[in-house]
């Protein structure tokens, strides 16, 4: 979850790059009774972003999602200041999911990222 400074970006088929969304990186954990949202520093985001937790209640029990909590303004652009001040209602709060390391109790970490993302897309299409 942490970025590190390097002199040269890694290259090759084992590497992928994504747009920086300027939000809070979080892990969503769907337990039998609720959805928990955790920061990389083990801060509980569940109470701060209850709408995100509620939106993920359709995810199968025993699922772990790696993503980023992002505020988007009326133009659909990420806004970190809106995220920090989300209570003013000026922005929509979203959970942009990157990965599903655990899905319905199945540990997928040994599977290729492309496979996990395909399974994640299929899951999202079922619950939307």
Catalytic residues, by residue number, are 20
27 and 66 in contact (C-beta within 8 Å)? Answer: yes
**First-residue to last-residue Cα distance in the chain:** 26
DSSP secondary structure letter of residue 60: P
DSSP secondary structure letter of residue 33: S
| 55: number of Cβ within 10 Å | 16
| 97: number of Cβ within 10 Å | 19
Q: Dihedral sign, CA of 36, 110, 98, 84?
A: positive
């Amino acid at each position: 979850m942490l970025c590190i400074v390097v002199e040269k970006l890694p290259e090759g088929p084992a590497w992928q790059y994504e747009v920086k969304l300027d939000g809070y990186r979080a892990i969503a954990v769907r337990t039998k009774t609720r959805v928990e949202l955790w920061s990389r520093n083990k801060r509980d985001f569940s109470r701060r972003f209850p709408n995100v937790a509620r939106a993920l209640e359709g995810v199968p029990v025993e699922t772990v999602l790696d993503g980023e909590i992002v505020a988007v303004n009326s133009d659909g652009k990420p806004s970190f200041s809106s995220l920090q001040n989300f209570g003013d209602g000026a922005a929509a709060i979203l959970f942009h999911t990157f990965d599903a390391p655990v899905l319905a109790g199945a540990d997928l970490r040994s599977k290729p990222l492309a496979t996990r993302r395909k399974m994640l897309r299929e899951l999202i299409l079922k619950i939307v």
